[in-house]
Chain A
């Protein structure tokens, strides 16, 4: 909105390329501000949320309700010595943290915060999102490979296997949305949702798959095997310290917020509020939804243990991908039959429940069977 105002102000007085430069710079600065502020808030929020889940307080000493704790930690981390271990691949080692931050930030370029308030509302927004999201694995592998540390390398190899696998259900789950919405442009998808109901309702299975696969891409528990603190010390960033480490940290939270923003746009109706509550500006609703999704991610993290690499891969290939394909099939069927929104919502909801239950039963047959009962025998 500010951009449009600036653009009309400058139009005709300066060359067009200059207008584009100014507006995109303004937008980029705005997004960077949002992302960095969200990072600071997000770290604080994560620590508070985890604290509350773990019957403790979380940070509450620095600043009001511990709000400044993140800043204090950031200053501390920046003051740390930048260690370059012996035998690292120097160029790649130095480059990786910077590269880590970029893809997450790029995602925000196409996110429509409010009607018309996307930095670049690409026609192929959805493709851009999935392509940029897949880039996230490159810096992790760079870091793991160059660190000259076996834990880092194991973490990197795991992340490649995992990310490449989970990329498939992640993208497949979005096909149903495109079939219904009829566009790859994110703002068009939001407009569709505002008219025909959120994709959360009409595509519940896709939401489930996207959420799980997204959390795998984000490397958050229960799928954080590439960091796997208790196994791999810190995974790919074991050997990083100081500013480079903090860049990885920032990248992780930026990824988190990017994923939450994408989920908000694709499934939660973006900036829309539904017919009733049109009180606050659109962008406020958008940000509120993003933070809600982030909270759910934190909730899951504080609740579930981690899966093993083979189980995680099995879950992806045996569970998520077949279900994603079935979802596409059935959605295509509904679209072909030209059903209306509420009908699709009901059908897909029933379908999601039925498929998840059936598929779980199918997979459960492969496992060891029912638990063996325990007998308490008197000893001696």
Chain B
């Protein structure tokens, strides 16, 4: 044998499949990863500090920019925290609208995650385009409701910014009618795909204990066999009145994480169905002053974002802007155990593992 020595590769921050500007310092022995260290901060834009300079209402658009693939959920979490802090009652209709929107957003976000994961696996473009096609329909719906396609600023403290337009319902029902067939197709093509299974089964196993200790959440945790979902564990909005199941994986590998998202989309569809049925008439926004001045104190609200537990911790000193605005970003915390997942795998697996955790750097670096 020739004498060999490990060498270091900087993967990123400019790299086609690090989902933004994640930088991984990999130590490789040939193709095998000996050590991996994520280097964060390339997208740091001090969003948390920025929030503390704005009024409570103005914080919502900034949350849009964190997890830009699921801005609705970010809006929702922030709005819930502000409502908790200021003691604002939300009209019934608004909570249902919020659930419908955040579940649509979950489908859109999962579509994107699945597509990019397959792209990382080398399925050049085709699955990504199909998933983007679905996502596009949801974005069209969002555009109709609130005028924006990516950064919505729709869910506000006290409700939502405007009521659902009448054209919304036929469009969503059409989507709900068509999407299950598409999902069936994806499941049929992808679930037992030989190459996909070869690339993901047993790759990047996130053991149950490690996942809990690393406080991973979302599909990443559930794939490891922990049935933990904030929608069930600490229901917010109207999730306690809706019937849905939480898919749970068994091995915690990339394949399980991939399948989790596929199954969750189906559950989301059923949630939207029920919420549309139950949607009550009435006000969609409680009267909330433009400048909210909550009593001194703190509040923590968490929701199940597509990537995991998204928590907002707000501290008020009685002023017009939060004294402290902290975000528990699921992507960031899911990334903490990355080294344990990567070591021992090949370079080609690195992108698959990172892709299967589904990170958005805007949220990781904030």
Contacts and interface: CB of A to CB of B under 8 A. Distances in A.
B7 interface: yes
A151 interface: yes
A53 B123 CA distance: 12
A137 B346 CA distance: 23
Contact of A231 (B17, B129, B259): B17
Nearest to A375: B248
Interface in A351-380: 368, 371-372, 374-380
A378 B227 contact: yes
A230 B351 contact: yes
Interface string A327-352: 00000000000000000000000000
Nearest to A310: B346
Given A150-B9, A371-B192, A306 B126 contact: no
Interface in B328-359: 346-351
Contacts of B199: 305-308, 311
B249 A304 contact: no
Interface stretch (A96-104, A207-215, A219-227): A219-227
Interface string A292-318: 000000000111111111110000000
B263 A374 contact: yes
Given A222-B195, A231-B350, A307-B198, A377 B232 contact: no
B195 A305 contact: yes
A372 B251 contact: yes
Nearest to A380: B232
A229 interface: yes
A54 B118 CA distance: 14
Contacts of A224: 122
A154 B129 contact: no
A380 B31 contact: no
A230 B121 contact: yes
A215 to B, nearest CB: 13
Contacts of B222: 379
A61 interface: no
A252 to B, nearest CB: 14
B56 interface: no
Contacts of B180: none
A310 B32 CA distance: 11
A233 interface: yes
B36 to A, nearest CB: 14
A228 interface: yes
Contacts of B198: 307-308, 311
A54 B120 contact: no
A233 B195 CA distance: 21
B196 interface: yes
A376 B250 contact: no
B92 interface: no
Interface residues of A, number: 41
A140 B307 CA distance: 40
A55 interface: yes
B202 to A, nearest CB: 6
Contacts of A377: 227, 245-246, 248
Given A228-B348, A380-B233, A309 B31 contact: yes
Interface in B218-246: 222, 227-229, 232-233, 245-246
A13 interface: no
A380 B232 CA distance: 5
B12 to A, nearest CB: 10
B7 A376 contact: no
B125 interface: yes
B16 A230 contact: yes
Nearest to B200: A305
A25 B16 CA distance: 44
A356 to B, nearest CB: 13
A53, A303, A374, most chain B CB atoms within 10 A = A374
Contacts of A376: 245-248, 263
A231 B347 CA distance: 7
Given A54-B126, A230-B121, A379-B227, A307 B201 contact: no
A77 interface: no
Given A55-B130, A150-B7, A230-B351, A374 B245 contact: no
Contact of B195 (A53, A307, A371): A307
Interface string B122-156: 11111011100100000000000000000000000
Interface string A274-293: 00000000000000000000
B129 A374 contact: no
Interface in B191-209: 192-193, 195-199, 201-202
A222, A310, A375, A379, most chain B CB atoms within 10 A = A379
A54 B31 contact: no
Contacts of A374: 247-250, 259, 263
Contacts of B227: 377-380
B266 to A, nearest CB: 10
B348 A225 contact: yes
B16 A301 contact: no
A379 B124 contact: no
Contact of B9 (A53, A151, A310, A371): A151
A63 to B, nearest CB: 23
Contacts of A150: 7, 9
B126 A302 contact: yes
B216 to A, nearest CB: 15
Contacts of B126: 50, 53-54, 302-303
A231 B202 contact: no
A261 B123 CA distance: 26
A17 B118 CA distance: 58
A376 B232 CA distance: 13
A361 to B, nearest CB: 13
Contacts of B30: 157
A326 to B, nearest CB: 22
B348 A233 contact: no
A302 B124 contact: yes
Given A368-B201, A380-B233, A305 B121 contact: yes
20 contacts: A54-B129, A154-B9, A154-B31, A228-B122, A229-B124, A230-B16, A305-B122, A305-B195, A306-B195, A306-B348, A307-B195, A308-B198, A309-B31, A309-B348, A368-B201, A371-B192, A377-B227, A378-B227, A379-B222, A379-B229
Given A231-B17, A301-B124, A307-B122, 14 more contacts: A55-B130, A55-B133, A150-B9, A151-B9, A224-B122, A228-B122, A228-B348, A229-B124, A230-B16, A230-B122, A311-B198, A374-B263, A379-B228, A379-B233
What 7 A-B pairs are tightest by C-beta distance, nearest first?
A306-B122, A379-B227, A379-B246, A54-B129, A305-B123, A380-B232, A230-B17
